[in-house]
Structure 1
Amino acid sequence: MDEQLDALDERGKKAAADAADPMDAASAADPMDAAGAAEPEDAASASVPDGPADGPTGAPASAPSPARRFHAPKLTRRSLVGAGVAALAVGAGAASGIARCTAGDASVPSEPKSPEPGAAAGPDSRRGGKLVMYTCCDDDLVNAFVPAFMQETGIVVDVRRMTASECRDSVAAEVAAGRPIADVVWGGDESWYAAGEADYEKYFSSENANVLDGCRNTSGYVTPATREVCVIAVNSARAEELSVEIEGYADLLDERLAGLVAVADAGTDAAAKSSAEAARAAGDLLSAFSTTVEDGSAQPGGDAFLAALETQAGGNVRATSEDVLEDVLSGAAVTGLVYEQQAAAMTRLTGEVEVVLPREGCLVAHGCTAIVRGATNLAQAQGWVDFVCGETAQKGAAAKVRLRSVRDGVGEKDDFVQLTVGKA
């Protein structure tokens, strides 16, 4: 039976590679080189197949509660062969004919099409033209928004995935040289856009007044597009082997998990930075880590808890949160700190990863977008910012991924206690 499964597995991989090799797709029908041959309407079908909604919903909690979990139906090895392998390839961006994912800084020819005189601005305008996007968002989130944007606006998007720090530093270098390649950046919270007007264009979306109060663009330079919840990903089979129950941040310090907690580099990865802030905020709530100062008052122990957690990781610091999830999935780590949407996508595809909303509470960060200063395709960039915050885009994405929306009544409800950074 194993030999038969191996043979099927190889055939499935070959079929997926033949049908959706990213390099072949880019050379055969490059949307940037042959915009007329790769219509956005056709490209939209290349997004990740819709999956069932994951997880519990309900009214926001007002007090700490037991950790919440959600699972996808368990997938057997057989169910992942063939069509499943192809789906995983799409999830990794291999079949994303919707947008060419590249690395590096190769220049992309740009011939933007300006709106017709008198045309209405906003997400409904079919501007046409091209857009270069730098993003640290995972492929599932990209495929939940970008194909619909292309179809809605007629704009062909060149997506270049990199870490949050690479997005920030590449834009800074390009703007300083007076030769910006990127038009927009997407991913990471407001702290990754601290350069403000030095590197980004001031623009308020036409949808700014329609999003949640805490999700509005207040500076003019950075626009929240999604809300990212910091969670704990768990390999439930490995946790069961060790007889360890993981329901919150405090459980990560169990001695049985020494060296088996995976974290990413907070200096380069957006989810890792937010997760470190979440762990520190949770530590502030744990009396075991608080200290008493000279005046007799209690000093929160968030920093001490974060230091203990880093020691517990035992040097298992990965480059990206995607690497953290791979470690958890493979069993190299029992647990890891990531964003909810990333972990939910892995759960949906494999059934092997359990997502825990920590009992201490969850930190909610913004996944932001901004227009690069001096962007070549300014009208197209403004169209993206308008679109991504719009109700149609947010509802469409919520049907594809586990989305905590910037709009009221869209996507998952906040069924957790929310942590606040800097407050015990």
Structure 2
Amino acid sequence: MSLPKPSGLPRLSEVKLTRRTLVAGGAALVVAGAGVAVGVTRCSRGAADVPVEPTAGAEASEDGAAKLGGKLSLYTSCPEELVNDVVARFSQDTGVAVAVVRGSEAELVGQLADGDVPGKPVADVVWGGEALWYAGVEGLSSGLEPVQREVGAFALAEGLAGSKTEAPAGYADLLTASLAGRVALCNPASCEAGWLHLVAMLSEAAGASAGGAPGDDVSWAFVQELLAAGAVICADEDAAVQTLLDGNADVALVSEQRARQLARRTGQTSVAWPESAVGVADACAGAVGGCLNEQQATAFVEFLTGRDGQQVVADALARPVVDDVQVAGGDDVPADDDVEVVATDADAAAKQREEILATWARVLAGEWAPAAAEEDAAEDEGEAGEAQA
């Protein structure tokens, strides 16, 4: 079967994280770092102005047409390698200089909701995460377009790369003695990859949930056991990857593209796809309504969703969303037709999102118990009260 178009997700609810193993992803918003591609204007917190850019039409393209020129502020949660490749090609084609601000989906939502904050560039384009991460953000309620397909995967440390006995084949294997406490999981309340993996773990298809479904006690009991074993909860994929590279985890639950990019960049990790269930979603991009550089923003989104941009996306190891462009091979990457999509009803999971995240917060804080256990406790308290009376 081919990958279906995933459903969007409702707006995030606020979840307070209290577990000590929470790992932050650094500054609230981080700018593309060293090695940033040509055409990217590097900016930092405290530098509000994008430097003066070439005037429109100042250069000519290869076919003699005037380049667009100008500047653009891009807010993105996508991996740095993917962003650099796309921005470099876009800048080359259009003459537009792009200021890049990176952060998790939740961080971008918070930044956009705050509006024009002194010391931070105003967003012209948002790219990354499903469309409804941005529900309610002024100027982004519509017009977001699917750009690349997100697929949940495991990034494995070097010691597991060639080990068929220890490398996890599915979520249930994350509870084996050799991996207990050695798993890095992105926070599903702040990061798309974390949400994808959580929904997959809660699904019947994951196997580890023993036939459960989102909201079922047996599914949440698995998640509870994973956290109790010492899983490291990370704010975003950057933090999860760093946890793996620092030797504080053997498996990081991230997106396919991040896992593949890491393996190629370091040569010290490998990639595995859960055999029983894979979470899938479409990451989107769109121009922010009323942005300062509307013409450049529109051009960027059109490039990303066009064939040339989709080819750059595919070459950067992300899955494109158009039929005539295929993701780059290698790494034993499964074709779309070979990916077993999570069996959970995507619409049902989306409708239950706030409930799921609220339960996640309770599990994380050690405050969750199966309904049956809570009922027994209530009955015990009732009986004790009657006895005292």
Residues 154, 252 of structure 2: 8 Å contact kept: yes
- Give the corresponding residue for 1:88: none
Deviation at 1:278, TM superposition (A): 2.5
Deviation at 1:394, TM superposition (A): 1.0
Residues 128, 153 of structure 1: 8 Å contact kept: yes
Please say if 1:246 is aligned against 2:168: yes
Please say if 1:158 is aligned against 2:99: yes
- Give the corresponding residue for 1:305: 222
Aligned partner letter, 2:341 = Q
C-alpha distance in 2, partners of 1:420/1:378?
40
Please say if 1:409 is aligned against 2:300: no
- Give the corresponding residue for 2:71: 130
The number of aligned residues is: 303
Say which of 155, 158, 177 aligns to 1:233: 155
Residues 277, 343 of structure 2: 8 Å contact kept: no
C-alpha distance in 1, partners of 2:160/2:208?
26
Question: What pairs with 1:147-296 in structure 2 (closer than 5 Å)?
Answer: 147-174=88-115, 181-195=122-136, 198-201=137-140, 220-238=142-160, 244-281=166-203, 285-286=207-208, 288=210, 290=212
Residues 289, 305 of structure 1: 8 Å contact kept: no
- Give the corresponding residue for 2:331: none
- What secondary structure does 2:49 align onto? coil
Residues 230, 339 of structure 1: 8 Å contact kept: yes
Work out the percentage of aligned pairs sharing the same amino acid: 30
Question: What pairs with 1:7-406 in structure 2 (closer than 5 Å)?
Answer: 93-104=34-45, 106-109=47-50, 126-174=67-115, 181-195=122-136, 198-201=137-140, 220-238=142-160, 244-281=166-203, 285-286=207-208, 288=210, 290=212, 301-312=218-229, 314=230, 316-399=232-315, 401-406=316-321
Residues 266, 276 of structure 1: 8 Å contact kept: yes
Deviation at 1:321, TM superposition (A): 1.2
C-alpha distance in 2, partners of 1:288/1:201?
39
TM-score (norm 2): 0.68
C-alpha distance in 2, partners of 1:356/1:281?
19
Deviations 1:253-311 (A, max 9, x none): 113321111112222223222222222235664463649xxxxxx96843333333332
C-alpha distance in 2, partners of 1:382/1:269?
26
**TM-align CA RMSD:** 3.4
C-alpha distance in 2, partners of 1:185/1:99?
16
- What secondary structure does 1:104 align onto? coil
- Give the corresponding residue for 2:345: 422
Unpaired runs of at least 5, structure 2: 4-31, 58-64, 328-334, 349-389
Aligned partner letter, 1:334 = D
Deviation at 1:350, TM superposition (A): 1.8
Distance 1:238 1:176, change over 3 A: closer
Residues 113, 127 of structure 1: 8 Å contact kept: no
Residues 105, 181 of structure 1: 8 Å contact kept: no
Would you identify which runs of 4 or more consecutive aligned residues in structure 1 move more than 6 Å? 110-116, 239-242
Aligned partner letter, 2:291 = A
TM-score (norm 1): 0.63
